[in-house]
């Protein structure tokens, strides 16, 4: 079975059909070439941006690393003078499950938590290694007290 099919030959000598097909293929080629060139330009811009960002990121990382090792004046590298056994003692008096947060700034410690009676706070204030004991807030809820205390512990400062 042979089918008779007609193919379009753009190189034929028929002037009328030749101009139409030639113009349409040229337009398609121009669109394709323009799209390829736009993609190449975008690709090179993206690569330049990525390489620039990587180089900036590595220089910033090097600066951060240099700053960390330059001196003790950086807050991230300051030594903490708090004896953790003293903090553990305070936590055992209050009860570890009753403490909501502990924050520290140098030798100043702030603890927020819950206690059943205020005698626990009195017991903390009478400890010998606690200085400048201050109850910042104390609120009574149904059976418990919500408290925020602040104190200084003995250290190198």
Average pLDDT across the chain, whole number:
76
What are the tens digits of pLDDT across the range 16-68?
A: 556 777 888 899 999 999 999 999 999 999 988 888 887 777 776 666 555 55
For the chain, the first-to-last Cα distance in angstroms comes to 103
pLDDT at 73 exceeding the cut of 60: no
Contact between residue 153 and residue 125 where contact means Cβ atoms under 8 Å apart:
no
Q: Compute the distance between CA of residue 112 and CA of residue 99 in angstroms, rounded to an integer.
A: 6
Percent of the chain whose pLDDT exceeds 90: 13
What are the tens digits of pLDDT across the range 109-145?
A: 888 888 888 888 888 888 877 788 888 888 888 888 8
Kindly state which CATH superfamily the domain 84-153 is placed in: General secretion pathway protein M, EpsM (3.30.1360.100)
pTM (2 decimals)?
A: 0.45
């Amino acid at each position: 079975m042979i089918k008779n099919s007609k193919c379009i030959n753009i190189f034929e000598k028929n002037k009328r059909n030749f101009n139409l097909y030639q113009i349409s293929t040229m337009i398609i080629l121009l669109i394709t070439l323009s799209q390829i060139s736009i993609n190449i330009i975008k690709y090179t811009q993206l690569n330049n941006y990525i390489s620039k960002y990587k180089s900036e990121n590595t220089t910033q990382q090097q600066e951060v690393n240099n700053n960390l090792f330059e001196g003790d004046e950086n807050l991230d590298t300051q030594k903490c003078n708090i004896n953790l056994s003293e903090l553990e003692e305070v936590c055992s008096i209050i009860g570890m499950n009753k403490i909501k947060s502990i924050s520290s700034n140098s030798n100043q410690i702030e603890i927020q938590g819950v206690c059943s009676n205020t005698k626990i706070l009195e017991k903390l204030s009478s400890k010998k290694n606690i200085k400048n004991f201050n109850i910042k807030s104390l609120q009574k809820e149904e059976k418990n007290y919500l408290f925020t205390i602040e104190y200084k512990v003995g250290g190198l400062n």
